[in-house]
A and B are shown apart, each in its own frame.
Chain A
Amino acid sequence: MERKQPDLVLIVARSFATKLATPTLIIDGHGNLVFFNDAAAEVLGRSYVDIGALQASHWQELFQPRTLDEEPMTAEQTPGGVALLERRPVHDSFTMRGLDGLEREITVTAFPLFSHPDEVVGVMSIFWEPSGAS
Chain B
Amino acid sequence: MIVRLWGARGSLSAPGSATVGYGGNTSCVELELADGTSLILDAGSGIRELGQRLLERDPGVLYICLTHLHLDHVEGLGFFGPLWRAGWKLRFWGPPSATATLRARVSRYLSPPLFPIGLSEAPSQASFEDVPREPWRVGSAMIEAQTVEHRGPTVGYRIEEEGHVLAYVPDHEPFLTAALDDHPRWISGWALAAGADLLLHDSQYTEEEYAHRVGWGHSSVAHAAAFARAAGVRRFAMFHHDPMRSDRELEALYDDVAESVRDEQEPPLIAREGLEINLGATP
With A116-B96, A116-B98, A117-B98: A11-B186 Cβ-Cβ less than 8 Å: yes
Asked if B185 contacts A5 (CB within 8 A), the reply is yes
A-contacting residues, B150-194, CB 8 Å? 176-178, 184-188, 190-191, 194
Asked if A15 contacts B190 (CB within 8 A), the reply is no
Asked if A1 contacts B98 (CB within 8 A), the reply is no
B-contacting residues, A68-124, CB 8 Å? 115-117, 119
- Interface stretch, picked from B11-19, B54-62, B71-79, B141-149, is B141-149
With beta carbons under 8 angstroms apart, the residue of B148, B176, B186, B194 that contacts A14 is B186
Most chain A CB within a 10 A radius of its CB, from B148, B149, B184, B186? B186
A12 contacts chain B at the CB level, 8 A cutoff: yes
Asked if A1 contacts B190 (CB within 8 A), the reply is no
A119 to chain B: closest residue by CB: B133
B195 contacts chain A at the CB level, 8 A cutoff: yes
With beta carbons under 8 angstroms apart, the residue of B98, B149, B195, B232 that contacts A8 is B149
Asked if B186 contacts A8 (CB within 8 A), the reply is no
Chain B contacts of A14 at CB under 8 A?
177, 186
Chain A contacts of B177 at CB under 8 A?
11-12, 14-15
Asked if B178 contacts A11 (CB within 8 A), the reply is yes
With beta carbons under 8 angstroms apart, the residue of A1, A7, A115, A116 that contacts B195 is A1
Main secondary structure of the interface of B (DSSP, over half): loop
Asked if A8 contacts B188 (CB within 8 A), the reply is yes
Chain A contact residue count (CB 8 A cutoff):
16
A14 to chain B: closest residue by CB: B186
With beta carbons under 8 angstroms apart, the residue of A3, A6, A8, A15 that contacts B194 is A3
Complex Cα spacing A6 to B146, Å: 11
A36-53 vs B: 1/0 string, CB under 8 Å? 000000000000000000
B174 to chain A: closest residue by CB: A11
Chain A contacts of B146 at CB under 8 A?
8
Complex Cα spacing A8 to B176, Å: 12
Chain A contacts of B187 at CB under 8 A?
5, 11
A4 to chain B: closest residue by CB: B191
With A15-B178, A116-B96: A5-B147 Cβ-Cβ less than 8 Å: no
Asked if A5 contacts B149 (CB within 8 A), the reply is no
A5-37 vs B: 1/0 string, CB under 8 Å? 111110110110000000000000000000000
Complex Cα spacing A110 to B232, Å: 37
Chain A contacts of B191 at CB under 8 A?
3-5
Asked if B149 contacts A12 (CB within 8 A), the reply is yes
With A12-B177, A15-B176, A15-B177: A5-B186 Cβ-Cβ less than 8 Å: yes
Rounded to whole Å, the gap between the CB of A69 and the closest CB of chain B is 38
Complex Cα spacing A7 to B190, Å: 11
Additional pairs, 12, CB under 8 Å, beyond known A11-B177, A115-B147: A1-B232, A3-B190, A3-B194, A4-B191, A5-B184, A5-B186, A5-B191, A8-B146, A8-B147, A8-B148, A11-B149, A119-B133
